[in-house]
């Protein structure tokens, strides 16, 4: 069973624990009060250590797994919801580094070398997922060094980490909507509760009116508020969440497309195929074939490594 985050805290997160420091390091588990649809003025470098689930960044919906790494820009709404058993607790799920533009606005005046990081920070306004396994492995080591140190040593590891990420070409920009469109404290708080409810019920028929009623809002008003906060209308948001789930199921390679269709929340195969083609640029059958081929190649490579051992 999937357990969504249950939170009522304000969705704007005010980090008052800078204490005069240039960066903030934090780590937390799941569930946690920090797991909610929220935004803040700081950049956030976010490493997933344990569990898998759905990531929401701006208007982007995707999957996360252990050893996935993201960078979000100032005031870009985001959330990571783990798919875990009803009573499962993940003691350490996330490692985070937060920092602000002020660090670089001041630093540029003194250290010209920091200007090489400007393109990375510009890209962060859309949210970034880093894809290079070698880069992520090195980033994990540097994140741990940041966690274990303090002072100038910690800051040195931080700049080495940013330089590493700025140099990689293997990344994906995530959100199509920009921060000014999405960062509204009042609306985003209500959207947090809506996303929470949608995540718990998207695998069945879920009309907009039901979610609006859950929030105590008129459907037309809820529809407008939801689109303003997420960058997507309600139906598109739910369909993207369902297609993301279907990709996750197809990746296992052991379910027929019809089963994937209904398990991910669609009630007919033609609508599922149409939405899948629209969002993924290929049919679900092609995606399944691709996943099965990937599985076979991995098994062959694993078998080859074993047979090559003396």
Q: Using a pLDDT cut of 70, give the percent of the chain over it.
A: 82
Query: In this predicted structure, what is the pLDDT of residue 193?
Result: 87
Cβ atoms of 135 and 70 within 8 Å: the answer is no
Cβ atoms of 229 and 184 within 8 Å: the answer is yes
Cβ atoms of 191 and 37 within 8 Å: the answer is yes
Rounded to whole angstroms, how far apart are CA atoms 53 and 81? 6
Rounded to whole angstroms, how far apart are CA atoms 143 and 149? 10
pTM over 0.85: no
Q: Is the peptide bond between 31 and the residue preceding it cis, with omega within 30 degrees of 0? A: yes
Query: In this predicted structure, what is the pLDDT of residue 9?
Result: 32
Token pair of 279, please? 């969002």
CATH of 234-310, one of 3.40.50.300, 3.40.50.10540, 1.10.10.60, 2.40.50.140: 1.10.10.60
* pLDDT tens-digit profile, the chain (310 residues): 444 433 333 356 666 656 778 999 999 999 998 888 888 899 999 999 999 999 999 889 999 999 999 999 998 989 999 999 888 999 999 999 999 999 998 888 888 899 999 999 999 999 999 999 999 999 999 999 999 999 999 999 999 999 999 999 999 999 987 665 565 566 667 888 898 899 899 999 999 999 999 999 999 999 988 888 888 899 999 999 999 888 888 887 778 889 999 999 999 899 988 888 888 887 776 666 555 544 444 444 445 444 444 4
Label residue 107 left, alpha or beta by phi (over 0 means left) and psi (-120 to 50 means alpha).
alpha
Going from N- to C-terminal start, the domains of the chain cover: 23-173, 234-310
Three-state SS letters, 226-269: HHHHHCCCHHHHHHHHHHHHHHHHHHHCCCCHHHHHHHCCCCCH
Query: In this predicted structure, what is the pLDDT of residue 177?
Result: 73
Cβ atoms of 202 and 238 within 8 Å: the answer is yes
How is domain 23-173 classified at the CATH fold level?
Answer: Jelly Rolls (2.60.120)
Rounded to whole angstroms, how far apart are CA atoms 183 and 72? 13
Query: In this predicted structure, what is the pLDDT of residue 287?
Result: 66
Rounded to whole angstroms, how far apart are CA atoms 132 and 122? 20
List of residues 6+ apart from 245 with CB closer than 8 A: 54, 202, 203, 263, 264, 265
Query: In this predicted structure, what is the pLDDT of residue 155?
Result: 95
């Amino acid at each position: 069973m999937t357990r969504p985050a249950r939170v009522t805290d304000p969705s704007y997160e005010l980090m008052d624990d800078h204490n005069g420091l240039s960066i903030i390091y934090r780590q937390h588990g799941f569930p946690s009060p920090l797991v909610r649809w929220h935004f803040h003025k700081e950049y956030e470098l976010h490493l997933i250590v344990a569990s898998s689930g759905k990531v929401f960044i701006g208007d982007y919906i995707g999957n996360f797994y252990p050893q996935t790494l993201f960078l979000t820009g100032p005031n870009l709404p985001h959330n990571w919801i783990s798919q875990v058993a009803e009573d499962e607790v993940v003691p350490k799920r996330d490692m985070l580094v937060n920092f602000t533009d002020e660090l670089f606005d001041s630093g540029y005046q003194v250290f010209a070398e920091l200007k090489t990081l400007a393109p990375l920070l510009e890209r962060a306004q859309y949210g970034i997922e880093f894809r290079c396994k070698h880069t992520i492995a090195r980033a994990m080591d540097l994140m741990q060094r940041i966690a274990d140190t303090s002072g100038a040593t910690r800051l040195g590891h931080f700049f080495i980490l940013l330089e590493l990420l700025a140099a990689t070409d293997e990344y994906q920009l995530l959100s199509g909507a920009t921060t000014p469109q999405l960062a509204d404290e009042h609306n985003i708080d209500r959207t947090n509760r809506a996303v929470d409810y949608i995540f718990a019920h998207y695998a069945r028929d879920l009309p907009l009116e039901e979610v609006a009623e859950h929030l105590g809002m008129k459907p037309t008003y809820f529809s407008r508020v939801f689109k303003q906060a997420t960058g997507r209308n309600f139906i598109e948001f739910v369909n993207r969440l369902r297609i993301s789930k279907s990709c996750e199921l197809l990746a296992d390679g052991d379910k027929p497309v019809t089963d994937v269709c209904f398990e991910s929340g669609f009630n007919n195969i033609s609508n599922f195929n149409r939405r899948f083609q629209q969002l993924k640029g290929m049919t679900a059958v092609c995606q399944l074939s691709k996943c099965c081929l990937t599985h076979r190649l991995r098994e062959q490579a694993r078998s080859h490594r074993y047979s090559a051992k003396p």
